[in-house]
Amino acid sequence: MVLSSRLIPLIALPALAAAQAQQCLPTDVLDPDGTNLNDDFGFGVAVDGARAFVGAPGDQNLQGTSSGAAYLIDLVSGEVELVLSIFGAQTGDRFGESVDICGPRAVVGTKWGGATSFIGAAHLYDLEAGTKIAKLSAIAPVVVDHGFGRVVAITPTRVLVARPLDSVPGGACGAVDVFDALTGAPLQTLLPDDPGGLGALGQFGSAMAVDGELVVIGAPRDGSQGVAEAGAAYVFDLTTGQRLTKLFPPAPGAGDRFGTSVAIEGGLVAVGAPLADVVFPDTGRAWTFDAATGAPLAELIRPGADAGEEFGTAVGITAGVALVGAPKAYGYRGVVQRFDAVTGAAADALVPCDSDGGDRVGSAISTCSSTVVVSAPTGGPGPGTGVLHEFALDLGHWSSLGSGLAGISGVPSLSGTGALEPECLVQLVVSNAAPSAPAVLVLGSSALSLALLGGQLIPSPDAVVAGLVTEPDGTLELGFQLVSAIPSGLDLYVQAWVLDAGGPQGFAATAGLTATAP
HEC profile of 20-61:
CCCCEECCEEECCCCCCCCCCCCCEEEEECCEEEEEECCCCC
468: CATH: 2.60.40.10
Give the C-alpha separation, 479 to 2, whole Å: 9
Give the C-alpha separation, 449 to 405, whole Å: 13
Would residue 346 be called left, alpha or beta, if left means φ above 0 and alpha means ψ between -120 and 50 degrees?
Answer: beta
Greatest alpha-carbon span in the chain: 82
**441 domain-assigned:** yes
Count of domains in the chain?
Answer: 1
Q: Which of 395, 509, 497, 402 is nearest to 441 (CA)?
A: 497
**279 domain-assigned:** no
> 492 is in which domain, residue-wise?
398-516
Confidence (pTM) = 0.80
**406 domain-assigned:** yes
Residue 417, CA atoms < 13 Å, CB-side half-sphere: 26
**221 domain-assigned:** no
**408 domain-assigned:** yes
**422 domain-assigned:** yes
**453 domain-assigned:** yes
Are residues 224 and 230 in contact, defined by beta-carbon separation less than 8 angstroms? no
- The pLDDT profile of the chain, 518 residues, written as one tens digit per residue, is 222 222 223 333 333 333 333 455 556 676 665 556 667 888 999 999 889 999 988 877 655 556 788 999 988 788 899 998 876 666 668 888 999 999 999 999 998 764 455 788 999 999 999 899 999 999 987 767 788 999 999 999 999 999 998 875 555 589 999 999 999 999 999 998 776 555 567 899 999 999 999 999 999 999 988 899 999 999 999 999 999 999 999 999 999 999 999 999 999 999 999 999 998 999 999 999 999 999 999 999 999 999 999 999 999 999 899 999 999 999 999 999 999 999 999 988 888 877 888 899 999 999 988 889 999 988 877 766 888 888 888 776 788 888 899 998 889 999 888 778 776 778 898 999 999 999 999 999 999 989 888 889 999 999 999 999 999 999 998 887 776 777 888 899 999 999 998 888 899 999 999 998 87
**311 domain-assigned:** no
Query: How many helices and strands, by DSSP H and E, does the chain display?
Result: 1, 44
